[in-house]
Amino acid sequence: EADIYQTPRYLVIGTGKKITLECSQTMGHDKMYWYQQDPGMELHLIHYSYGVNSTEKGDLSSESTVSRIRTEHFPLTLESARPSHTSQYLCASSELGRLNEKLFFGSGTQLSVL
Amino acid sequence: GQQVMQIPQYQHVQEGEDFTTYCNSSTTLSNIQWYKQRPGGHPVFLIQLVKSGEVKKQKRLTFQFGEAKKNSSLHITATQTTDVGTYFCAGPRSGGSNYKLTFGKGTLLTVNP
């Protein structure tokens, strides 16, 4: 069973607030990812990291930022939330360098910005 | 850029009927993965196919990878209500050692008991 945790599970906030979505994994995986998913829609990669102090932007432009100071921790921050940021945010991790890489997903954070 | 397309977008079946979803890539894939996402849940890895023409089975689920490694299918025999969810295929970006997946839009399966 995957050990990747996201908090909070649900978040409702007002416009302009700064928020941080937490993601932690206990599997020692080097690679971590953030995906954004609207209800019933596809997954869009917004950020990824191949290890400590390594972060890259994904395919979907996002106003969020990420950091990777520790292997197990990959938080996502929105400096000023807007209603357009309302979505589900999924964190995932995988092992670096293995042929049969598969993604382990957290339970997600459903963000609603009013 | 690389595109991964899935059809159909939705499929509603009666319990006991079969179900198939198809995945097509605009480029040759080194491998393809399938994930299942239950309503309100998160994607869960099902399987990875690597070899051209590969066929793998998991109980009532049969996965195929095309000879040209550009298409794949997932077939469920005699669907059950527990099969409800969205099935995504995903393929790695072509080129380089950086491993990022491109997901298809998914096929939502609903099963009428």
On the question of pLDDT at A101 being above 80, the answer is: no
Confidence band of A52 (pLDDT split at 50, 70, 90): very high
pLDDT digits (tens, 9 = 90+) for A63-97: 899 999 999 999 999 999 999 999 999 999 987 66
User: β-strands B101-103, B85-92: how paired?
Assistant: antiparallel
> Considering only CB atoms, which chain A residues are within 8 Å of B86?
40
**Is A102 in contact with B45 (Cβ distance < 8 A)?**
yes
Nearest-Å Rg of the Cα atoms of chain B is 14
- Residue B88 near residue B35, CB atoms below 8 Å: yes
Q: Which residue of B has its CA nearest to A33?
A: B100
> Considering only CB atoms, which chain B residues are within 8 Å of A101?
99
Nearest-Å Rg of the Cα atoms of chain A is 13
Q: Residue A70 gets which letter from DSSP?
A: B
- Residue A31 near residue A94, CB atoms below 8 Å: yes
Residue pLDDT tens, chain B, 113 long: 668 899 999 999 999 999 999 999 988 988 999 999 999 899 999 999 999 999 999 999 999 999 999 999 999 999 999 999 999 999 887 554 456 788 999 999 999 99
Among candidates B78, B80, B81, B100, which has minimal Cα distance to B91? B100
Q: Give the contacts of A66 (CB within 8 A, at least 6 positions apart).
A: A34, A47, A49, A55, A74, A75, A76, A77
**Is A58 in contact with B100 (Cβ distance < 8 A)?**
yes
Give the C-alpha separation, B46 to B42, whole Å. 13
pLDDT digits (tens, 9 = 90+) for B46-59: 999 999 999 999 99
Q: How far A41 CA lies from chain B's nearest CA (Å)?
A: 6
